[in-house]
């Protein structure tokens, strides 16, 4: 009786082992069959009821069934393990022959890039690159540049005054003064850096912007020298021959003072929206150094003269890269910066 029961139990259990669809299901079957309260374990407990002469035979059958089921569990478990391994290997597969993505590198800001190019150019022409303080004295920012006390540039609206009478420099021109004081004539210098004005910020005005001041003091410096250096500069920046013209312009520290225009690089002269149909684009103010400015910095204007210019670096970067909103430059937005 127990014999047939055993063989039914074994074949039913084998079928369930094969049919198990997951390791969890298999484990549940194992507990149901071989666990402490499992069906095969229960059958073993019935051995007491078996007549003594049959006990050895039935005992053997019971052990054989138990071993058969145990090894069936094991081999099914190995199948699951193999499947799991296979799934992992195919998911974690790595092609070591693919080129690795390079490390993410930063790069110089577009303004710094143009600044470096201009520095290199002027260094090759014998100019020193000078640095001056961003917090300036009223004397260096205004008085020594022949800007009289009642000049509108001193208006509170434009200048960030600091407590104690100093100010944030409103242009890089005070570095001319420091250059003349420190180095004396003959002098060739440029001074790149930040300037600050109390502006209402919009697409074309920033409170903080970049300029490059330039100055040459020597004997018999003329407007021809100025034009030569400016043309050399602009040809290098725009990487092509540019046509320039000078219009009169007023700045207290130069006499005569000019606005230097370049022929529009977009239309080449006839007129287009970029040059507002004029064929010319205003680019930089410049002039021959006012004798008062030389004198105030201890240089004899009867012996020496010079030219000076103030290049708006921020504006130049915007022109070169066709950037239509000045605020982007200091936004720190990587989507913008990564384009340069």
Q: Is 159 in the site for ligand DAH (CB under 6 A)?
A: no
Least Å from the CB of residue 224 to ligand DAH: 16
- Contact string 227-266 vs ligand DAH (x = CB under 6 A): ------------------------x--x------------
Sign of the Cα torsion 223, 225, 230, 288 reads: negative
Give least dist CB 288 to ligand DAH, A.
9
Q: Binding residues for ligand DAH, how many (CB under 6 A)?
A: 11
Toward ligand DAH, which CB reaches closer, 29 or 145?
145
Omega into 256 within 30° of 0, i.e. cis?
yes
Helix (H) or strand (E) holding 136: strand 135-136
Write each residue from 26 to 55 as x if it is in contact with ligand DAH (CB under 6 A), else as -, in one continuous string.
Answer: ------------------------------
308 forms part of the interface with ligand DAH (CB under 6 A): yes
DSSP E strand boundaries for 197-263? 208-218, 244-248, 254-263
**List 192, 309, 314, 316, residue binding ligand DAH (CB under 6 A):** 309
Among 110, 132, 193, 287, binds ligand DAH (CB under 6 A): 287
Residue 171 touching ligand DAH (CB under 6 A)? yes
Residue 253: name the closest of 208, 217, 282, 302 by CA.
Answer: 217
**Binding flag, residue 118, ligand DAH (CB under 6 A):** no
CA 123, CA 304: separation in Å to the nearest integer? 22
Of positions 9, 167, 310, 323, contacts ligand DAH by CB under 6 A: 310
C-alpha dihedral over 113, 114, 118, 119, to 10 degrees? -30
CB-CB neighbours of 287 under 10 Å: 25
**Interface with ligand DAH by CB under 6 A: which range of 60-68, 129-137, 271-279, 285-293?**
285-293
Find the distance separating the first CA and the last CA of the chain, reported in whole Å. Answer: 89
**Taking Cα atoms as reference points, which of 93, 178, 103 lies closest to residue 136?**
178
Distances (CA, A) of 98 to 25, 95, 101, 102, 215: 41, 6, 9, 12, 55
Q: Which is nearer to ligand DAH, 58 or 211 (CB)?
A: 211
> What residues make contact with ligand DAH under the rule CB under 6 A?
171, 173, 213, 251, 254, 285-287, 308-310
């Amino acid at each position: 009786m127990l014999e047939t029961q055993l063989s039914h139990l074994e074949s039913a259990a084998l079928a369930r082992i094969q049919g198990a669809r997951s390791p969890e299901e298999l484990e549940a079957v194992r507990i149901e069959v071989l666990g402490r309260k499992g069906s095969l374990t229960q059958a073993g407990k019935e051995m007491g009821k078996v007549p003594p002469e049959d006990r050895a035979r039935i005992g053997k059958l019971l052990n054989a069934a138990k071993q058969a089921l145990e090894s069936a569990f094991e081999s099914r478990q190995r199948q699951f393990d193999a499947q799991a391994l296979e799934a992992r290997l195919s998911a974690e597969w790595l092609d070591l022959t693919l080129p690795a993505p390079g490390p993410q590198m930063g790069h110089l800001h577009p303004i710094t890039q143009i600044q470096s190019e201009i520095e290199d150019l002027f260094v090759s022409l014998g100019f020193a690159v000078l640095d001056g303080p961003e917090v300036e004295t009223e004397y260096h920012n205004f008085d020594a540049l022949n800007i009289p006390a009642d000049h509108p540039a001193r208006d509170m609206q434009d200048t960030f005054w600091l407590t104690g009478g100093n100010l944030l420099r409103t242009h890089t021109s005070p570095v001319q003064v420091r250059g003349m004081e420190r180095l004396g004539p003959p002098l060739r210098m440029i001074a790149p850096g930040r300037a600050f004005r109390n502006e209402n910020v919009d697409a074309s005005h920033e409170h903080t912007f970049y300029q490059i001041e330039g100055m040459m003091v020597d004997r018999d410096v003329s407007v021809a020298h100025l034009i030569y250096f400016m043309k050399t500069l602009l040809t290098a920046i725009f990487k092509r021959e540019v046509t320039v013209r000078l219009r009169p312009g007023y700045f207290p520290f130069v006499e005569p003072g000019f606005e230097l225009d370049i022929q529009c690089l977009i239309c080449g002269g006839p007129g287009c929206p970029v040059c507002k149909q004029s064929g010319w684009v205003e680019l930089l103010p410049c002039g021959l150094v006012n004798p008062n400015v030389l004198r105030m910095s201890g240089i004899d204007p009867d012996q020496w003269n010079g030219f000076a210019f103030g290049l708006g670096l921020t504006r130049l970067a915007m022109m070169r890269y066709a950037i239509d909103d000045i605020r982007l430059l200091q936004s720190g937005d990587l989507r913008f910066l990564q384009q340069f």
